[in-house]
A and B are shown apart, each in its own frame.
Chain A
Amino acid sequence: NAGVTQTPKFQVLKTGQSMTLQCAQDMNHEYMSWYRQDPGMGLRLIHYSVGAGITDQGEVPNGYNVSRSTTEDFPLRLLSAAPSQTSVYFCASSYALNQPQHFGDGTRLSIL
C-alpha cells in the first residue's frame, strides 16, 4: 500500500522561483489537505479539499495555490518562492473529517 506519496522529498529553490509539490493518494479519499510545519508552531493548514473540484483556504494560504482535478492528486504550487516559505510540507488525506488523516512523509523545502 503506497498510502500518501509526496514528491520531491527535498528541494532547494531560489527566491522568486516557482515550483509544484506533488501529493498523490491511492486510498480513494475525498478529503485532502496541505500543512506546513515550522519549529514550535505545530502544523498549520495551508489549503484543503473535500473532493475533486472543491478547494478552500486554510490558516496560511498566501503564496500558495492548489487545485483538485482528480480524487487522487492534490498538488501545491508556490507561485514566487520566498525565504519565509522555507518549511517542511505535509500532505494528508482521509475519507472524511471524522476519520484519521493519513500523512505523507513530507517535503523539506529550503528557499535561498
Chain B
Amino acid sequence: AQSVTQPDIHITVSEGASLELRCNYSYGATPYLFWYVQSPGQGLQLLLKYFSGDTLVQGIKGFEAEFKRSQSSFNLRKPSVHWSDAAEYFCAVGGKAGGTSYGKLTFGQGTILTVHP
C-alpha cells in the first residue's frame, strides 16, 4: 500500500531564513510526487510535481523539491521564506499502478509552517 509520512507537524522559521519540509513515501512502482499548499479556509494549490526526469523540480513561489529514490524522499525547499509562505503544506504520492489503485493519491498528514517577522 502506498503511504506518505511528513515527520514534522509544525515548523517555525524566521522570515528570510531557508526552509526544508520533509516528505518520505512508500510506493511499489515509479511514483508521481506532489507538493500542495493550503492557506486557511482555502482549498489546496499545487506547488510542484515530479513524474520523471530531472530529480530537482522547480515550482511556483520560489519552491523546489528533490526526488531521492534511494531515500524514498521528496523534500521541499525554499532559500528565503516570506511571511506570506505561512500555510499548511502537503506531500502526496500516486501513480498508475494498475487495477483499482489507478487514480488514487495518498496525502501526508501535513506540515504547518509559521513564519516569524
Contacts and interface: CB of A to CB of B under 8 A. Distances in A.
A58 B36 CA distance: 20
B56 interface: no
A40 B43 CA distance: 16
A103 B102 CA distance: 19
A97 B49 contact: no
Given A40-B9, A42-B107, A104 B100 contact: no
Residue picked from B41, B42, B104, most chain A C-beta under 10 Å: B104
Interface string B79-111: 000000000001010111000101111111110
A94 B30 CA distance: 20
A35 to B, nearest CB: 8
Interface string B25-41: 00000001010100001
A56 B43 contact: no
Contacts of B36: 103
Interface string A79-112: 0000000000010100001101101111000000
A13 interface: no
Nearest to A31: B103
B104 A58 contact: yes
Nearest to B91: A42
Interface size class of B (residues with CB under 8 A): 20 to 34
Contact of A100 (B9, B34, B43, B90): B34
Contacts of A103: 36, 43-45
A97 B95 contact: yes
Nearest to B101: A56
Contacts of B102: 50, 97
Given A44-B107, A103-B44, 17 more contacts: A33-B105, A40-B9, A42-B90, A45-B105, A48-B103, A48-B104, A97-B32, A97-B94, A97-B96, A98-B96, A100-B34, A100-B49, A101-B105, A103-B36, A103-B43, A106-B41, A106-B43
